[in-house]
Amino acid sequence: MIHTAWLGYNLGDIGTLKAGIVRVPFGPTAYGVSTSWFFDQHFYVGLADDPDLGIRWDGTFDKLMLSAGYYLMSEPQTIGNSLASSRYGYDVVKWEEKADEKGTVEWGAEENGYDEQHQLNLRAIYTLADAADVGVSLQYGLLKATNVGDDDSGNHYAVSAHLKNTVAGFTLYSQFSYYAYNIAEETPWGTGDLIPMGAYDFAWPIASKGMLPALSLRYGGIDTSGISWIDSVTPYVEWSTILKTVEEYNPSTLVTVGASWTILGALYLYSDVALTDGNFFVGNTEDDYNNIITGVNHVGANGNNMWHWRLNFNFGYYF
């Protein structure tokens, strides 16, 4: 999988340009509100830490930070077993499955679905004071259909308001977003209320429309000077949920408590406990991938509305 591959040019006082596989500017930081290894639920609908193929401009003018991007398409498929989901960031993709109106899956069908095309992004963040940044993010793009009935096109958009507050070592990120993938009502997977989205070599339908509030609180004031091998430790607690526009679909909530550690200058550690009723990275009790509506604990219909937990340790060495 490729996360980032770009060439850049410094434009001096008017900012920088990057062209290639470039992260999409959306949300308060490159990772949305999140500090944790799991991200928040924005990541799983393609609205945080999402690299795509295009060009991006960033500029800072006194207290105002602006970003704009044009993305020809999502990042290319890399080596994997899936049709189009061997990628890092979550994108709308084609897959090789179908489902009837009740959600029953037919595996190994003709390829079908959508591809992202011609996406535009705008983001503005303004520093009100030393302790507050307020921002807005906008996204609009086209969708190209493959084997989806007579309708070969669609579109998608997302709008988001976000805020960063810092006081006494605490940093609170808050974000509220609405997203919509506008597609045909009659689809090979039985409904226009879901759309296949893929990453990590696997595709599964997410809710086509939803509201997404998210909060992340972290503390950066811990003094580790008395412990020679610990450079820093940052505890955090995060909450996010996806509220679907279809009444029958269950919300998908993710709560993460943990800390990030820097050890011996080059070792980076995440230690997290994640609790969720709608994220298939966390638990799979009674998940049934033979039905896209009733079967799986995820950010789609979330028919398996069970709570799961996961203890996670992730080590990274930087050199």
Give the separation between CA 61 and CA 271, rounded to whole angstroms.
37
Cα 220 to Cα 110, 167, 169, 172: the distances in Å are: 51, 10, 5, 11
Identify the residue whose tokens are 């993710």: 254
Structure tokens at 34: 């999140």
Residues 115-147 have pLDDT tens digits of 999 999 999 999 998 789 999 999 999 999 999
Which helix (H) or strand (E) element contains residue 142? strand 132-146
pLDDT by residue (tens digit) across 63-121? Answer: 999 999 999 999 998 889 999 999 999 999 999 999 999 999 999 999 999 999 999 99
Q: What are the residues whose beta carbons fall under 8 Å from the beta carbon of 58, sequence distance 6 or more? A: 15, 16, 18, 25, 65, 66, 67
241-260: pLDDT as tens digits: 999 999 999 999 999 999 99
Other Cβ atoms within 10 Å of 61 Cβ, number: 10
Give the integer Cα–Cα distance in Å for 181 and 99.
19
> Residue 284: which pLDDT band, with cuts at 50, 70 and 90?
confident
Domain ranges of the chain: 5-230
User: 285 falls in which pLDDT band (50, 70, 90)?
Assistant: confident
Rounded to an integer, what distance in angstroms lies between the CA atom of residue 54 and that of residue 19? 6
User: Is a pLDDT exceeding 90 seen at residue 149?
Assistant: no
Highest mean pLDDT among 20-29, 143-152, 282-291: 20-29
Average pLDDT, rounded, for the chain: 95
Taking residues 190-214, what's their average pLDDT? Answer: 97
Structure tokens at 228: 């020679």
